[in-house]
């Protein structure tokens, strides 16, 4: 079941979207402001975010930047701001689509289906990735050569593989994998990255693909 996080400070919109999405067999979480949205994105790991720009605590564009710091989850912006500049800022920040209020529920649902389809295609393209002597299947969560990974190892590896060439900060990995309370526990990362290199790199002492950027984070180099 597709999990959708709806972020809006208008209770009637949250209620209407929750009812309509649930009726179409989506799993729905809601958040009334930017701070709770960022927490919910970590805790609920949604497959899609529907985000209002006009939030009481944070601007929606700032929320997009916050999400894009560590996740590629699709974002549909829902806003009463009709100006092109607002749309451009939201899309440049990393939103995938933009729906202007007032809106029809059928239009929004069509946008949800379209974004979900695009994401599924991208997922299929990323289904198998070569890393050294191994082929990693992200769909079935298998590694050639009968390599076994723990759930935490998979979570870290998948975050890196889905962002090839991109530096993923230590904070981003810790937040994504363990939650925001663990952002200072960098020794967790060092331990798990060492385990991943032992299992996947030809020469774990001199990795070619799972690269550490000292003091910053990690990068997957294809």
Class of domain 125-220: mainly alpha
Tens digit of each residue's pLDDT, the chain (222 residues): 789 999 999 999 999 999 999 999 999 999 999 999 999 998 888 999 999 999 999 999 999 999 988 888 899 998 887 667 888 888 888 888 888 888 899 999 999 998 888 777 666 666 788 899 999 988 788 999 999 999 899 989 988 988 777 788 888 888 878 877 777 778 888 999 999 999 999 999 999 999 998 878 898 988
Residue 101: name the closest of 50, 149, 137, 174 by CA: 50
Q: What is the pTM of this model?
A: 0.60
Residue 64: name the closest of 46, 37, 44 by CA: 37
Fold topology of 3-122 = Rossmann fold (3.40.50)
Q: How many residues does the chain have?
A: 222
C-alpha to C-alpha distance for 87 and 129, rounded to whole angstroms = 34
Residue 112: name the closest of 42, 9, 22 by CA: 22
Provide the residue ranges of all domains of the chain, joining segments of one domain with +: 3-122, 125-220
Residue 138: name the closest of 148, 127, 125 by CA: 127
């Amino acid at each position: 079941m597709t999990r959708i996080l709806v972020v809006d400070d208008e209770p009637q919109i949250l209620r209407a979207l929750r009812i309509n999405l649930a009726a179409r067999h989506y799993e729905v979480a809601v958040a009334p402001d930017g701070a709770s949205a960022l927490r919910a994105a970590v805790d609920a790991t949604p497959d899609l975010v529907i985000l209002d720009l006009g939030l009481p605590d944070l601007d929606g564009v700032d929320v997009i930047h916050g999400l894009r710091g560590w996740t590629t989850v699709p974002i549909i912006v829902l806003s009463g701001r009709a100006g092109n500049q607002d749309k451009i800022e939201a899309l440049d920040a990393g939103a995938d689509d933009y729906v202007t209020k007032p809106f029809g529920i059928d239009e929004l649902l069509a946008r949800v289906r379209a974004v979900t389809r695009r994401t599924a295609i991208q997922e299929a393209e990323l289904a198998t990735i070569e890393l050294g002597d191994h082929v990693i299947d992200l769909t079935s969560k298998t590694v050639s050569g009968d390599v076994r990974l723990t759930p935490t190892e998979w979570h870290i590896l998948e975050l890196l593989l889905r962002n090839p060439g991109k530096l993923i900060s230590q904070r981003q990995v810790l937040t994504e994998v363990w939650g925001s309370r663990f952002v200072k526990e960098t020794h967790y990362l060092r331990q798990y990255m060492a385990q991943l290199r032992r299992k996947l790199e030809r020469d774990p002492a001199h990795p070619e693909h799972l690269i550490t950027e000292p003091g910053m984070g990690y990068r997957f180099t294809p």
